[in-house]
Structure 1
């Protein structure tokens, strides 16, 4: 889903504080439930692994051997219920834990309707309003994939319902699509080595240290995995390459000779054995009752350090800065990216 090249290009918008944010008690029509307070801290989904088929393209052959997916009783989304909707002054209707699931009766529920002015301007990456067109949910709608990694989601009054439950906001917020908004997150790693090229081990865990390519987002100033939205009809494998090239290597501004070198190194790395770290719903602050984020996170590891490791990193597109960062639990990251890195460290038997 390539977006216009602007600060809102791929809608990774909204600063989410790293400190815990506590909701105030519900009031007026939103009051209900025994646990009204919501902590805006990171939430880790329940995991299981299974074998997947390979994702292939003309420039990428990805061997996906593992996937971490949601089970039937996933952890409640938390960031999707944070009090203030990102990039706005809109306050969500507080949703207590026991009222998140749509199966729980809550006739007093009065969510705030909000669609960002940016989305309302009808950019090419956004759907029109419901009523002016009739999207086909839970299927491939032309080139737009409206299926969910979670399950078949309910459609009520012509609008899709978030499969993880209530968020306190209806409409699309900052998201372009009604229903699932598909993204791809390429996690590019290498081993941290000394001057002699020997793997470095952490002094406490005694495990080898991984490094990954991290960008500082222009919109919120937080460090993140360089990722973005999947274009309609685009294979995820190509999205992963494109996003990494544009955000971490600034391929959009590169000369023809530089682009050729970048492409050669990218093809080499993305043809290497990788694994699908995660595929599913993302607990994202931009989510609403009718629009939500889902992603495929894939780890590409430069084991020998001679592919992209030798390319100079250069921030581009939506990135303010870019650098190799040690994989460590103490390093704060945007959204659920820390969780993805934890899974990578476990898979590579590296320090976390």
Structure 2
């Protein structure tokens, strides 16, 4: 199966009242489905981090300060590193308000504007089937509007994200060892360590390479999301007829093994705003023998421009925080980085 080396191509607030409290009414295709409702998985996750502690560690804002905002000409209010934290007083801060037209069109995966009569989201709680709790713990709610726990972004509103507050995702990291024509594992000439490969897709919205993840549907187990997103984005399962969908069964053994939870928490994502942000569970499924994945026909799905196996290395340029997830996987498997 074809592989690719690690040199990848790049790629005004209005206060209104509702439910007896002050709300903020905000003014591309949405980057997510209906955001997630997490339940306890049937499978137990193994935890891993390079420090040996919890895999959740809030990312510093870098990509969340990207300007202009993705899919628009909206320029973020410039936020210097020392002013990102909400603990730093900054009375001059005047972020731009932006919510994408696709979100304001009221698709089923998006919340209503906070000014909508009768719309009273319960933040920091399970709100019906919408999980508004954060992996990072309790976040602040000011004037009935959630505040990004990682700090300022230079934009308010929801941007491209559907939910006020956390928008949860799941990222399946599918890996195997790189092998030569004779089936022998390939080692990096400098480190002497074996080279790991992972399945990457090229996003259509920005052209960057990424892990083939997505949003968890309401009531869906996170393990089901991981498998579904891989099949849809890397195997193009939605476009296959019933006979071709047998390909999905070939990944059953892979997704039946014990998964490794690499990261669970806030994501430094270019779509983040002061009021809406991405969180994820990045989970590794590794095919140590190569027998489970070698015969799978990778085919880009609707959201992906391309899909291929990519060599894991420190020069990988990936979407959002995906490179940091891949690094953790390489460390876990003692692979070259």
TM-score range, shorter chain: 0.7 to 0.9
Q: Shift in Å at residue 257 of structure 1?
A: 2.1
* TM-score computed with the length of structure 1 as normaliser: 0.81
User: Equivalents in 2 of 1:266, 1:56: separation in Å?
Assistant: 18
User: Equivalents in 1 of 2:88, 2:56: separation in Å?
Assistant: 21
Note the 1:327-342 alignment, pairs <5 A.
327-342=312-327
1:147 paired with 2:168, answer: no
- Of 89, 92, 96, the match for 1:105: 89
Secondary structure at the aligned position of 1:255 is classed as: coil
Q: Does the Cα contact within 8 Å between 2:59 and 2:268 map onto a contact in 1?
A: no
Q: Does the Cα contact within 8 Å between 2:200 and 2:310 map onto a contact in 1?
A: yes
User: Equivalents in 1 of 2:45, 2:143: separation in Å?
Assistant: 41
Q: Shift in Å at residue 258 of structure 1?
A: 2.0
Structure-2 change in CA distance of 1:213 and 1:76 (3 Å): closer
**Equivalent residue, structure 1, for 2:328:** 343
**Equivalent residue, structure 2, for 1:290:** 275
**Equivalent residue, structure 1, for 2:260:** 275
User: Equivalents in 1 of 2:94, 2:140: separation in Å?
Assistant: 19
Secondary structure at the aligned position of 2:226 is classed as: helix
**Equivalent residue, structure 2, for 1:242:** 228
Write the deviation string for residues 23-82 of structure 1: whole angstroms up to 9, x where unpaired: xxxxxxxxxxxxxxxxxxxxxxxxxxxxxxx9634xxx35423255345xx553121122
Structure-2 change in CA distance of 1:260 and 1:75 (3 Å): closer
**Equivalent residue, structure 1, for 2:311:** 326
**Equivalent residue, structure 1, for 2:147:** 161
- Of 133, 144, 160, the match for 1:174: 160
Q: Shift in Å at residue 274 of structure 1?
A: 2.3
Secondary structure at the aligned position of 1:56 is classed as: coil
User: Equivalents in 1 of 2:294, 2:282: separation in Å?
Assistant: 20
For the aligned residue pairs, the C-alpha RMSD in angstroms reads 1.8
Q: Does the Cα contact within 8 Å between 1:62 and 1:271 map onto a contact in 2?
A: no
Q: Does the Cα contact within 8 Å between 2:32 and 2:109 map onto a contact in 1?
A: no
Q: Structure 1 stretches of 5 or more lacking a match?
A: 1-6, 13-53
1:69 paired with 2:55, answer: yes
Question: RCO (CA 8 Å, sep 6+): is it higher in 1 or 2?
Answer: 2
Structure-2 change in CA distance of 1:62 and 1:259 (3 Å): farther
**Equivalent residue, structure 2, for 1:193:** 179
Secondary structure at the aligned position of 1:320 is classed as: strand
User: Equivalents in 1 of 2:84, 2:181: separation in Å?
Assistant: 52
- Of 22, 28, 31, the match for 1:10: 31
Greater CA deviation, 230-239 or 133-142?
A: 230-239
**Equivalent residue, structure 1, for 2:20:** none
Write the deviation string for residues 212-250 of structure 1: whole angstroms up to 9, x where unpaired: 111111111111110111112211111101100000001
Q: Does the Cα contact within 8 Å between 1:9 and 1:318 map onto a contact in 2?
A: no
**Equivalent residue, structure 2, for 1:81:** 65
* TM-score computed with the length of structure 2 as normaliser: 0.84
Write the deviation string for residues 293-319 of structure 1: whole angstroms up to 9, x where unpaired: 001000000111122331110111201
1:134 paired with 2:120, answer: yes
Segments of 4+ in structure 1 off by > 3 A?
A: 9-12, 54-57, 67-71
User: Equivalents in 1 of 2:247, 2:147: separation in Å?
Assistant: 45
Structure-2 change in CA distance of 1:197 and 1:62 (3 Å): farther
Q: Shift in Å at residue 107 of structure 1?
A: 1.8
Q: Shift in Å at residue 143 of structure 1?
A: 0.6
Aligned length, in residue pairs: 299
User: Equivalents in 2 of 1:187, 1:231: separation in Å?
Assistant: 19
Structure-2 change in CA distance of 1:75 and 1:300 (3 Å): closer
